[in-house]
């Protein structure tokens, strides 16, 4: 836990220190960092981009036939890619124990697994005889179980921004197959464990909050509660713990990076929002009248539609920012290391 000397107190990202790695990326929503500095990044062309520490990159696409992001490739429209989610759109990523990539595919509404040379296999498209819904994020734990967050079953997903239907859920994949272990979430997004895997933390994007549930040995989840403020200052999307117990959270659309301290205080670490478009977004959020046009006009300049963060580098003090509308990956140095993910242990 953090003492009164929390290293994030009175600290903010120095915008002039931000650097970028990667180029010509498409929808780099999720980033996985390896110990040697290699990055694996979700890509809207239906695969992942591998970026080496020296900046060289390789797009790895599945060797199976399936629809790509749009019939016209990179010329896909905003409506096709971000509203209708046409074709294959890898979203959340996790490493399997053998190094393969587990994929929550936002476009195909599936959980997939792909080898590092592109051999892809679909694991699940249904649960309890029904389509999965918008598969958002995957996470592997120390017992080699896979946890899946599903954002909503509404189509298009943007409807849920206004209805606030709490139809999101968490599923568990283990030797018994796939099953729902918690439901009733409002816009389920990223999920993370604390250092001891005692609690599973859940982003509820359209409720503007973080929830957590206690993890039982059999994978069941209990004691659900809100973590931190009951209402955050925007739409949380991705998050990650640092080694001091601070929970770093990205706020999509307004492109802000905040941290929730163990005491529940919210610290602003980076604010790349546009005051005018932010005010309009929030007014329509409150009146349940958001449209794709309003969303499209609301973004910053560093990592447009800031969606995730990943700690990497040899000391886990390099913070990489994922986004839905960026073409590169901004990164900067943190005063505190990140909590190691399962593939670092």
- pLDDT tens digits, one per residue of 88-135: 999 999 999 999 999 999 999 999 999 999 999 999 999 999 999 999
Tell me if 76 is assigned to some domain: yes
Tens digits of residue pLDDT in 216-252? 999 999 999 999 999 999 999 999 999 999 999 999 9
pLDDT band at residue 77 under the 50/70/90 scheme: confident
User: How would residue 2 be classed by pLDDT, with cut points 50, 70 and 90?
Assistant: very low
Residue 345 confidence (pLDDT): 78
Task: Please give the pLDDT value at position 121.
Answer: 95
What is the value of pTM for the model shown?
0.94
| Domain membership flag for residue 259 | yes
If you average pLDDT over residues 127-145, what whole number do you get?
Answer: 97
Domain span at 59: 17-344
Q: Would the pLDDT of 63 be above 80?
A: yes
Task: Tell me what the mean pLDDT of segment 47-58 comes to.
Answer: 96
- Per-residue confidence (pLDDT) for residue 83, from 0 to 100: 67
How many domains does one find in the chain? 1
11 in a structural domain:
no
Check residue 73 and give its pLDDT. 46
> What is the CATH number for 331?
2.120.10.30
What is the per-residue pLDDT for 1? Answer: 44
Average pLDDT over residues 262-268: 97
**pLDDT range class, residue 71, cuts 50, 70, 90:** very low
Q: What confidence tens digit (pLDDT) does each residue in 160-217 have?
A: 999 999 999 999 999 999 999 999 999 999 999 999 999 999 999 999 999 999 999 9
What confidence tier does 72 reach under pLDDT thresholds 50, 70, 90? very low
3 confidence band (pLDDT: 50, 70, 90): very low
Q: What is the 3-state secondary structure (H, E, C) of the chain?
A: CCCCCCCCCCCCCCHHHCEEECCCCCCCCCEEECCCCCEEEEECCCEEEEECCCCCEEEECCCCCCCCCCCCHHHCCHHHHHHCCCCCCEEEEEECCCCCEEEEECCCCEEEEECCCCCEEEEECEECCEECCCEEEEEECCCCCEEEEECCCCCCHHHHHHHCCCCEEEEEEECCEEEEEEEEECCEEEEEECCCCCEEEEEEHHHCEEEEEEECCCCCEEEEEEECCCCCCCEEEEEEEECCCCEEEEEECCCEEEEECCCCCEEEEEECCCHHHHHHHHHHHHCCCCCHHHHHCCCCCCCCCEEEEEEECCCCCEEEEEECCCCCEEEEECCCCECCCHHHC
Query: Is residue 288, in this structure, part of any structural domain at all?
Result: yes
Question: What pLDDT, on the 0 to 100 scale, is given for residue 194?
Answer: 97
Please report whether residue 10 resides in a domain.
no
| 321 inside domain | yes
Give pLDDT, residue 64.
Answer: 67
**Higher pLDDT, residue 313 or 4:** 313
């Amino acid at each position: 836990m953090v003492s009164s000397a929390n290293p994030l107190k009175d600290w903010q990202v120095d915008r002039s220190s931000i650097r970028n790695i990667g180029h010509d990326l498409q929808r780099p929503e999720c980033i996985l960092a390896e110990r040697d500095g290699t990055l694996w990044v979700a890509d809207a062309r239906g695969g992942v981009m591998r970026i080496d520490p020296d900046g060289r990159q390789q797009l790895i696409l599945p060797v199976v036939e399936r629809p790509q992001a749009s019939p016209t490739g990179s010329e896909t429209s905003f409506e096709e890619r971000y509203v209708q989610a046409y074709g294959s759109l890898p979203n959340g990523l996790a490493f399997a124990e053998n190094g393969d990539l587990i994929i929550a595919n936002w476009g195909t509404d599936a959980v997939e697994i792909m080898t590092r040379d592109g051999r892809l296999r679909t694991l699940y498209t249904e649960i309890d005889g029904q389509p999965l819904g918008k598969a958002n994020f995957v996470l592997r734990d120390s017992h080699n179980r896979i946890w899946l967050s599903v954002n909503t079953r509404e189509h298009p997903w943007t409807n849920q921004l206004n209805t606030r239907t709490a139809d999101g859920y968490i599923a568990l994949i283990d030797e018994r197959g796939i099953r729902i272990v918690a439901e009733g979430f409002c816009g389920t997004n990223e999920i993370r464990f604390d250092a001891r895997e005692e609690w599973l933390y859940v982003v509820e994007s359209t409720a503007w909050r973080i929830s957590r549930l206690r993890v039982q040995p059999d994978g069941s989840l209990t004691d659900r509660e809100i973590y931190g403020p009951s209402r955050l200052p925007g739409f949380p999307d991705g998050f990650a713990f640092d080694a001091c117990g601070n929970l770093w959270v990205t706020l999509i659309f307004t492109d802000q990076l905040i941290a929730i301290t163990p005491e529940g205080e919210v610290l602003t670490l980076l604010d790349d929002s546009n005051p005018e478009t932010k005010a309009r977004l929030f007014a329509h959020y409150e009146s349940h009248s958001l449209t794709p046009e309003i969303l499209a006009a609301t973004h910053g300049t560093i990592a447009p539609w800031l969606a995730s963060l990943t700690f990497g580098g040899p000391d886990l003090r390099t913070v990489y920012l994922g986004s839905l509308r960026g073409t590169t990956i901004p990164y900067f140095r943190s005063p505190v290391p990140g909590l190691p993910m399962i593939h670092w242990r």
